[in-house]
Amino acid sequence: MHSIAEDLNQRLAPTVVGRTLSRFGQRIYFPKGIVAQSTEAKKSATTFNATVGIALSDGEPMILPTIQDNLPRLSPSEAIDYAPPGGDNKLRTLWKEEMLRKNPGILESKISLPAVVPGITSGISLAADLFIDENDGVVFTDLCWDNYPLIFETRNQARCCTFAPFTSHGEFNIQGMSEAILKAAHSGKVVLILNFPHNPTGYTPTKDEAKALAEALVAIAETGLQLVVMCDDAYFGLFYEEEAYRQSIFTLLYNAHENLLAIKIDGATKEDYVWGFRVGFLTFGSFGLKEDHFDALNQKVLGAIRTTISSSSRVGQTLLYKELSSLVYHGIKVKYAKVLEERFKTVKKILETRETGKSLKPLPFNSGYFMTFELERGSSEELRKHLLRTEGIGTIALQERYLRIAYSSVDNRDLKALYGTIFQAADQLFGV
């Protein structure tokens, strides 16, 4: 049990709460990770707040006009009626059409109709409930979104096995991934989590890396090991370099082998700049699955949804459907994506002019919202606290030697000042 959970249990022990908690209630805790650090930064980050995975412009969240214009125009049934447990069927169909447009390598008949869930977090947790038993092996990168260990290890009691995301040459660590899968294969089944663009590093495999990754997983499936691959596509579409694989990795896996089940977990959250809508989707695919199989699996998903949140937000689904149906939707999204790409290019240029041999080493990044520094000396938590308390700058410390910067939430004109202050603070604290 995590030390934070143990501390909470001790504090609650003398009360009726402590005497009545379930086993899950005893295990669960709120991590002192990204969300907690972001909350702290909201209070003290008076200069720049580069903590939260959100796209801001002049301090306000970016919102597409196709969403803003529809807010006051909804009928009661569009705004407050119950949505079906699996989501509005028109939206599910339209999201699938958009998925096929963005991922032309996917065949429509070979995947399920996406089911609506309240955000990607819920989708991951629901998939975990469906496919992870206590002590099953779950594999993901050691640098990861801090909700992964909370969902898989604490909530579902899986045995988590991690691997470094990069080789010493800065390439995606396919060998490390394969070794971790085989190490976790004690039950005959392994669940693998792939997250591209990656949080916290902002990396997407190149076309060659993506192909090699898929081939490695198929080779493992050929041995008889049952693989469930969850594709966390939270930041899908924000690719800034030509060599990045620009379709979901799901495209290479959904029909790859009968022993490999691919699950695409995506949503409007980041793709459509509607972070608070909490509208995500679950889509399944595997070689040999037919319509009857998808129907049966859909019933399982509906049961899981019904017993937890009943159904997702109606107003969020209505607005998203109207947005996706708009004739100006794609053009506006391109414009917004260009804003984030420009910030990416600015950060790249800043790092190129940074002298080598300093205390901060940028990890590879080519997409998404973030980039991450590896500290060659010193503590990232010490640096984070120093930046927050003395400079009013919010960042995210991960483990003891990584610092994540959400450049998506800082205007392009301010990035030079942000990074200059970070460099100066690191050099001051840890030496050159």
Q: CA-CA distance, 338 to 8, in Å (whole number)? A: 45
The bridge status of strand 226-232 relative to strand 189-195 is parallel
Give 115's Cβ-side CA count (13 Å radius).
30
- The one-letter code for the residue type at 20 is T
What's the pTM? 0.87
**Domain at 31-53+331-430, CATH homologous superfamily:** Aspartate Aminotransferase, domain 1 (3.90.1150.10)
Q: What is the pLDDT of residues 101-141, one digit of tens each?
A: 999 999 999 999 999 999 999 999 989 988 898 899 999 99
- Parts of the chain with a pLDDT under 50: none
Between CA 159 and CA 164, with CA 162 as vertex, the angle to 5 degrees is 175
Q: Are 42 and 393 in contact (CB under 8 A)?
A: no
The residue whose two tokens read 């143990």 is 6
- pLDDT, position 47: 85
Burial of 386 (0-12, 13-18, 19+ CB in 10 A): middle
Q: CA-CA distance, 8 to 31, in Å (whole number)? A: 12
Which are the contacts of 287, defined by CB distance < 8 A and separation ≥ 6? 255, 256, 257, 258, 260
Q: CA-CA distance, 88 to 319, in Å (whole number)? A: 12
Phi, psi of 193 (to 5 degrees): -110, 120
Q: Where in the chain is the domain with CATH 3.40.640.10?
A: 66-325
Q: CA-CA distance, 77 to 261, in Å (whole number)? A: 37
Between CA 421 and CA 432, with CA 426 as vertex, the angle to 5 degrees is 120
Phi, psi of 15 (to 5 degrees): -110, 170
Q: Where in the chain is the domain with CATH 3.90.1150.10?
A: 31-53+331-430
Q: CA-CA distance, 100 to 350, in Å (whole number)? A: 37
Which are the contacts of 119, defined by CB distance < 8 A and separation ≥ 6? 267, 269, 278, 279, 280
- The one-letter code for the residue type at 186 is H
- pLDDT, position 1: 79
Which are the contacts of 334, defined by CB distance < 8 A and separation ≥ 6? none
Q: CA-CA distance, 175 to 412, in Å (whole number)? A: 37
- pLDDT, position 16: 59
Q: Are 401 and 380 in contact (CB under 8 A)?
A: yes
- pLDDT, position 121: 94
- pLDDT, position 432: 64
User: Is 66-325 a CATH 3.40.640.10 domain?
Assistant: yes
